[in-house]
A = this chain, B = another copy of it.
Amino acid sequence: MASEVQLVAGSAAWWASRKPAPEYRRGRPPMDAGRIVAKALELVDEVGIQALTLRMLADALGSGTATLYRHFKGKDELLALVADRFLGEVSVPPEELDGLSWREAVSTVAEALHGTLCRHPNALSLLAAQVPVGPNALRARERLITLFLSHGFPVELSARAFTAIGHYVIGFAIQQHGPGAPGPEDHAQLRDYYHSLDPADYPATIAAAGELTSVSLHDEFLFGLGLLLDGLERARSNALQEPEAAVGH
């Protein structure tokens, strides 16, 4: 309700307001923000984001909870930094994309991002909050948009393609690795559940039960990614043939 400008942790304005690390520390810092964030990500990976406690984090660092508040305004701010740190682990060596078509290159980057997200399932929901605009997110964005531009995509189409791919990869991963941890045994459970339904009410679901539960979620991810790339291929052809036409329709 307040018309005051609020700095939401993780927002563009919040990142812009962050100082570039004081650096007037003489000798060794007894406790710096980087070390706290790194340990926080470790703990999130281990116990999950809900179970992460400031007391637990402080203990792991050999400190007290109050000390954490000297480096972060609160848990939200700490988690925003954890989110960007974990995005920083996405790495695709530039030479890996040499000689690839735009489609292969985008696919490689998307799969690398997806792979990193899958390696930190417990941290994933941190990306649901807002458009990630920390330094590591910026680097990834720059990389992918450059890829589109360098392969002849117009600026507008590049921007939309980036958002579509980025939202798809992150959105899919978030659902793929929820707290309900859908392992292989859950697949079997789900199939049994579908088959236990009343055929009069759910004929299509029952007919598709095997197909809905036999394919791994990773293959489902690749299938959806392929659909998006198919669509982008078509949009790119259209744009190159009629440079003046709008992207839509």
Interface residues of A (CB under 8 A from B): 8, 10-13, 15-16, 125, 127-131, 133, 138, 141-142, 145-146, 149, 155-156, 158-160, 162-164, 167-168, 170-172, 174-175, 178-182, 186, 189-190, 192-193, 196-197, 201-205, 207-208, 211-212, 215, 219-220, 223-224, 226-232, 234-235, 247-248
Chain B residues positioned under 8 Å from A162 (CB to CB): 208, 212
Can you report 9 A-B residue pairs in the complex whose CB atoms are below 8 A from each other?
A12-B192, A16-B196, A129-B179, A141-B205, A145-B205, A146-B203, A167-B224, A168-B171, A171-B171
> How would you classify the secondary structure of chain A's contact residues: helix, strand, loop or mixed?
helix
Beta-carbon contact of B155 and A208 below 8 Å? yes
**Among B145, B178, B204, which residue has its beta carbon within 8 angstroms of that of A129?**
B178
Q: Copies per complex? A: 2
**Among B174, B193, B201, which residue has its beta carbon within 8 angstroms of that of A142?**
B201
Q: How far is the CA of A181 from the CA of B128 in the complex (A)?
A: 11
Closest Cβ neighbor of A166 among chain B residues: B175
Shortest CB distance A117–B (Å):
12
Beta-carbon contact of B159 and A211 below 8 Å? yes
Known: A125-B128, A235-B227. A202 touches B142 (CB 8 A): yes
Chain B residues positioned under 8 Å from A16 (CB to CB): 193, 196
Beta-carbon contact of A10 and B180 below 8 Å? yes
**Among B181, B197, B211, B248, which residue has its beta carbon within 8 angstroms of that of A156?**
B211
Q: How far is the CA of A230 from the CA of B233 in the complex (A)?
A: 10
Shortest CB distance A181–B (Å):
8
Closest Cβ neighbor of A145 among chain B residues: B204
